[in-house]
Chains A and B, each alone.
Chain A
Amino acid sequence: MAKKDDDILKKVTGSEYEFGFVSNIEEEIFPPGLNEDIIRKISEKKNEPKWMLDFRLKAYRKWKSMEMPQWAHLRIPEIDYQAISYFAAPKKPKYNSLDEVDPEILETFNKLGIPLEEQLVLAGVAVDAIVDSTSVKTTFKETLSNLGIIFCSISEAIQDHPDLVKKYLASVVPVGDNYFAALNSAVFSDGSFVYIPKGVRCPMELSSYFRINAANTGQFERTLIIADEGSYVSYLEGCTAPQRDENQLHAAVVEIIVHKDAEVKYSTVQNWYPGDKDGKGGIFNFVTKRGICEGENSKLTWAQVETGSAITWKYPSTILKGDNSISEFYSVAVTNNHQQADTGTKMIHIGKNTKSHIVSKGISAGYSENSYRGLVKVMKGAENARNYSQCDSLLMGDKCGAHTFPYIEVENKTAVVEHEATTSKVSEDQIFYCNQRGISTEDAVGLIVNGYAKEVIKQLPMEFAVEAQKLLQITLEGSVG
């Protein structure tokens, strides 16, 4: 039994990263290094107005005065920020139709299993495809613009909708919020911008495909989503990255503003290259994601499946400012081999009758470390705030670690805050039960893990749920001893 399990374990943990390939597109890359000149060059390259340059410079100066945070339960190798190139763009950035798009890029997407055409026709998903830094193609723009929805790259938004960008950029994540957010504010290359006008329900799932491509380029995405009064949008973010030996830095910032009666659903499937099975290479994923439920009765839902990256440092958070606002956080984080993840959420209750719900499922295998870190804070004025958090960890193997670090800060007596956490392994009884019924151990583990993560996966939109389930299967099947 043990021998067989070992074999399965080897087979599964030994499987190489499926999406590791490099597409050879001609790229323009800045020399490595970070200084004010580079920032001026980035800004100039993107033809940005002066206020944007000032914004970047302010962030850069702030960043210089900061130190990299050390509090996470992670071992982060020293990062030489001067060895990273901060700008890479495909040389021909504009296309009018699919035919003009570099066939290699199209091929890349095909390999990923999400061909643009198919998505356009079948799934009805508008894709804002990003290869490295510059937005290559934005689809379905017209359909959306008829409804008054703005869905474009943030560079375009800076040119075309400066008022909106000026008003909301860095309003949720201030430039000096943390080390990586400051870095991102200084050098962000591109990202998505979404504005849903009053009372509009976005008819399709908006999706953006990020992909790190060129070697040694950090990817600094910036996403800004604004849902005006009474609107609704569901936004999908998914990542895959080609196999590399050098560590690559990814420091993104996502800001979401939800106005009165509006609802935003933000889903992520993160599958950056996790490094090989000896822990060599892999992406450093240091992300700041934060939303604010600005108006009354607003709602923000985070759903994430994290299977990739060598190191993940990510805490999608919500500020519940409007009365009666609601936020939910659903997360599955899987780590294998030498992966490390320190992830969780923050729920800051400011408004009255605000509610938050946290469900976090961690699965660790191999030599990995998986931590949940979360904060629930109820401010003095947040009457009748309610929070329920549940964090479960599943351990597969005796070399990995699963940790839970919740913080609960309550300053109002009417608040009810509950936190529960358990740690366990896939029990032999469960496997035995499945075996008895003719289900192989490998399939049984798949079943059990998927059942364990189901509460989260069912929150994802359909296509993502399928992808997420596949990812879980690939990463973990049979990893039980």
Chain B
Amino acid sequence: MKKKVEKFEKGFLTFFNDIKNELQQTTHHLYDDVANEAASAFETGKLQLPHKKMEDYKYSDLKKHLKSDFVFYTAPEKAKVYPKDLFVCDVPDLDAETVMLINGWFHDYDGKKLKTTDEGIVYGSLLYAYENGYKEIIDAYLNKHLNTGSPLVALNNMFAQDGFFVYVPDNVVAQTPIQLINLVSALEEVFVSPHSLIVAGKNSQAKFLLCEHSIFPKYFLNNSVMQIIALENSHIEYVRLQNAHNESYQFTSTYIHQTDNSSVKTNTITLHGGVVRNNIVASIDGKGCYNEMYGLFLVDKGQHVDNWTLIDHKQAESSSKELFKGIIDDYATGAFAGKILVRKDSQHTDAEQTNKNILLTSDAKMYTKPQLEIYADDVVCSHGATVGQMNEDELFYMRQRGISQKTARLMLLNAFAYDVIKDISVEPVKNAVINLVEKRLSGDLTRCDKCEIKC
């Protein structure tokens, strides 16, 4: 069922009350408590839609973008979309297991809502999994290790639809990546709110690729939540590829929870997407953990990309490495906020954070806010941030050797971006990202020739 929320900023609470019963029925009352709690927090003013007077949203006045009307699907609609046909251009040689959400609801293009890979990974619809044998796991982790006080999480919980569910059982070591596709495809201005959960059991290994796309050039709002739970000695790699059109609003919240000896590597690559805000929180609640958080964004025209990250070292003897890079063109704006929090008694933490940005024009803007908050003394923490331009000497060196200005610039920008991409371990994904970034930087990725998606 399609429902319309008028003037989202003002009308979302009334709208919530209107569709509440219907939506909560469809979602098997999975989110009732958190949704009602969030709604009352918004009602009483305890929570507010993010605006620039809030420290965490200083550079992203999201409320301003929520003034228009949106359409919301309270239940899945029939669609004929086959991911393999659609996504040829993104990751051409990828041998992956694919699942898909369309407008926030699970799309069982092959008639299966929950599948198991040859290697033993269970993946599919969160709602279906909840009703079919995975209630315990979902109850144990869903909405547990995230900040329900974050306005974006609260908003997601109020309107939570379906989401991806991936369960990697203990000791399963998977080579084949799982590709998750979050697609927005509607002829109206749509608003989606998927809530996904990945649980990696003890001693397991798995790789994920999340692609976010849109088909029609209508503006839309995607406010998604992704929870990643990495249990003892599990190793997870997660690549998020954001490539929606420039009229979209994409607010994402990723919450990573790590226990002893786990490692999680995330890569957030933003190629396109009007107003993007990524909240990425890694809570390191175990010893001997390693967290790698990488991000790259390329913005042009009037786009705005804001990456807000928090690495929370809750226990001793873990390390983290964070690297975010941005290239800002035309009159676009980029923002980065990264906090490393080392709690009391988290001794021997080793945390490193780097943020580098290149401004290509005089109208481009970059705001960066690297932060350290440290309550333990025997730690090594550092952060560095730069905003600048391409190195004139390097350009000169290349031009001396007969490389044209344009090529030299492209080479330098590609090299700049490569730092972030080079650690993706799935070769086809890495090559695809390199290719996409190259195309994107040379300006060829406005219209894709191979697929229907107009990314």
Contact = CB atoms under 8 A, between A and B. Distances in A.
A21 to B, nearest CB: 34
B345 interface: yes
Nearest to B344: A398
A378 B345 CA distance: 38
Contacts of A429: none
A402 interface: yes
B370 A406 contact: yes
A393 B379 CA distance: 11
Interface string A403-432: 111111111111111111111110000000
Contacts of A395: 374, 376-377, 379
27 contacts: A395-B374, A395-B377, A398-B345, A398-B376, A398-B377, A400-B375, A403-B371, A403-B374, A405-B369, A406-B369, A406-B371, A407-B368, A408-B366, A408-B369, A411-B364, A411-B365, A413-B360, A414-B389, A415-B388, A417-B385, A417-B386, A421-B372, A422-B382, A423-B381, A424-B379, A424-B381, A425-B377
Contacts of B345: 398
A420 B382 contact: yes
Contacts of A59: none
Given A421-B384, A422-B382, A423-B381, A412 B359 contact: yes
Q: By CB atoms of chain B within 10 A, which of A412, A421, A423 has the most?
A: A423
Given A397-B377, A398-B377, 5 more contacts: A398-B376, A404-B372, A410-B367, A418-B385, A425-B377
A58 interface: no
Contact of B388 (A407, A409, A417, A425): A417
A410 B359 contact: yes
Given A407-B367, A419-B385, A413 B361 contact: yes
A70 to B, nearest CB: 10
B90 to A, nearest CB: 31
B378 A393 contact: no
A421 B374 contact: no
B367 A413 contact: no
Contacts of A73: 373
Interface residues of A, number: 37
A413 B362 contact: yes
A405 B384 contact: no
Interface string B331-367: 0000000000000110100000000010111111111
B378 A398 contact: yes
B377 A396 contact: yes
A410 B359 CA distance: 9
Given A398-B376, A400-B377, A421-B372, A409 B347 contact: no
A284 B118 CA distance: 66
A421 B383 CA distance: 5
B364 A401 contact: no
A341 to B, nearest CB: 14
A397 B372 CA distance: 17
Given A403-B374, A416-B389, A410 B365 contact: yes
B88 interface: no
A40 interface: no
Nearest to A408: B368
Contact of B387 (A402, A405, A417, A423): A417
Contacts of B364: 411, 413
Nearest to B371: A405
A420 B371 contact: no
B55 interface: yes
Interface residues of B, number: 36
A408 B385 contact: yes
Nearest to B343: A401
Contacts of B448: none
B380 interface: yes
Contacts, number: 119
Given A393-B372, A412-B359, A414-B389, A419 B367 contact: no
Contacts of A406: 369-371, 385
A397 B377 CA distance: 6
Contacts of B373: 73, 401, 403-404
Contacts of A399: 344
Nearest to A387: B387
B344 A416 contact: no
A357 interface: no
A62 interface: no
A267 B119 CA distance: 67
A420 B382 CA distance: 7
Nearest to A412: B362
Contact of A423 (B55, B361, B370, B379): B379
Contacts of B387: 378, 408, 410, 415-417
A71 interface: yes
B173 to A, nearest CB: 37
Given A418-B384, A419-B385, A409 B367 contact: yes
A380 interface: yes
Given A408-B368, A412-B362, A413-B361, A401 B388 contact: no
Contact of B372 (A378, A412, A415, A423): A423
B344 A420 contact: no
Interface string B15-55: 00000000000000000000000000000000000000001
B318 to A, nearest CB: 16
A426 to B, nearest CB: 9
Contacts of B367: 407-410
Contacts of A423: 372, 374, 379-382
B372 A380 contact: no
Contacts of B360: 413
Contacts of A411: 364-365
B60 to A, nearest CB: 13
A402 B360 CA distance: 35
Nearest to A394: B377
A422 to B, nearest CB: 4
Q: By CB atoms of chain B within 10 A, which of A73, A380, A410 has the most?
A: A410
Contact of B369 (A407, A421, A425): A407
Contacts of B381: 422-424
Given A400-B377, A413-B360, A419 B347 contact: no
B112 to A, nearest CB: 49
A380 to B, nearest CB: 7
Nearest to B336: A408
Interface string A296-317: 0000000000000000000000
A386 B55 CA distance: 26
A481 B347 CA distance: 13
